Chain A
């Protein structure tokens, strides 16, 4: 349905971006010992797994109908998309909050802030590429509707999840970048924890 959007392309782009970011964050987290950076690395790894689950869902949806499943497996996509949406929230969100509270109680000085900034900037670039590809597919599916109307009306659950994830990642990275800069400028570790 909905135009000729290629969800697979959007998912693979997001997977590539997240994996590249995961590696860069992991390396940086090991060097700097930044809690926020470790949380971000785990977040990126979880996102990779999430894209894997979406791919699994798309493959399962292709299974042919049988006597027991007379209308096929198409709706398997919704189950996996739903699961991924829950995982994005719980693993990504909750772990970050936990790390933040931990940092508030046990502050550690921010080492190598420029490395943190470099990783975050790299993340912004990678996620931007992913978001760009995702938006290209969304624009095909929109057929002249506003982004908001597409968001409300689309039946393409997997594209919806990728779009939401890319958006959240970009916002998160931007906020993190600002927080590191704030810590660098003020020397107050509160911002590193809040990040």
Chain B
């Protein structure tokens, strides 16, 4: 209970599943950092990832949006997602 009040991430198994899911997406090269926070019945995630090469900014943004959409479809309790493209953690 104390852990949840302080601010605990999702169950370890769920985090692994989420990590594997994002890493398996073709738009993503590799996940650099994944942060989750359990908010009662809902979940917040913050992802920092190196993306697969994109020809321009619009393609990159669309890639991020499609990953976020797929993520929320697969894990319906993810209510908030903050996705940051980066080259190193």
Stretch at the interface among B1-9, B52-60, B66-74: B1-9
Q: Tell me if B80 is interfacial: C-beta within 8 Å of chain A.
A: yes
Min CB–CB distance B76 → chain A (angstroms): 10
Q: Tell me if A96 is interfacial: C-beta within 8 Å of chain B.
A: no
Majority SS at the chain B contact face? mixed
Q: Tell me if A61 is interfacial: C-beta within 8 Å of chain B.
A: yes
Q: Are B11 and A76 in contact (CB under 8 A)?
A: no
Within 8 A of B (CB), among A156-178: 157, 160-161
Q: Are A78 and B14 in contact (CB under 8 A)?
A: no
- The interface bits of chain A over 84-102 (1 if a CB of B lies within 8 angstroms of the residue's CB, else 0) are 0100000000000000000
Interface size on B, residues (CB 8 A): 20
Q: Are A1 and B38 in contact (CB under 8 A)?
A: yes
Q: How far is the CA of A79 from the CA of B1 in the complex (A)?
A: 9
Q: Are A85 and B11 in contact (CB under 8 A)?
A: no
- The interface bits of chain A over 62-92 (1 if a CB of B lies within 8 angstroms of the residue's CB, else 0) are 0000000001111111110110010000000
Within 8 A of A (CB), among B5-41: 5, 8, 10-14, 38-41
Chain A interface category by residue count: 20 to 34
Known: A2-B11, A153-B11, A155-B8. A74 touches B1 (CB 8 A): no
Q: Are B4 and A85 in contact (CB under 8 A)?
A: no
Known: A1-B77, A78-B1. A72 touches B11 (CB 8 A): no
Q: Are A78 and B40 in contact (CB under 8 A)?
A: yes
Residues of chain A within 8 A of B42, CB atoms compared: 72, 74
Residues of chain A within 8 A of B43, CB atoms compared: 1
Within 8 A of B (CB), among A123-182: 143, 153-155, 157, 160-161
Q: Are A82 and B1 in contact (CB under 8 A)?
A: yes
Query: Of A75, A79, A85, A143, which is in contact with the most chain B CB atoms at under 10 Å from its CB?
Result: A75
Q: Are A61 and B41 in contact (CB under 8 A)?
A: yes
A residues in contact (CB < 8 Å) with B: 1-2, 61, 71-79, 81-82, 85, 143, 153-155, 157, 160-161
B residues in contact (CB < 8 Å) with A: 1-2, 4-5, 8, 10-14, 38-44, 77, 79-80
Q: A71-B39, A72-B40 given. 20 additional CB < 8 A pairs? A: A1-B10, A1-B38, A1-B41, A1-B77, A2-B14, A72-B39, A74-B39, A74-B40, A76-B40, A77-B40, A78-B5, A79-B5, A81-B4, A82-B1, A82-B5, A153-B12, A155-B4, A155-B11, A160-B1, A161-B1
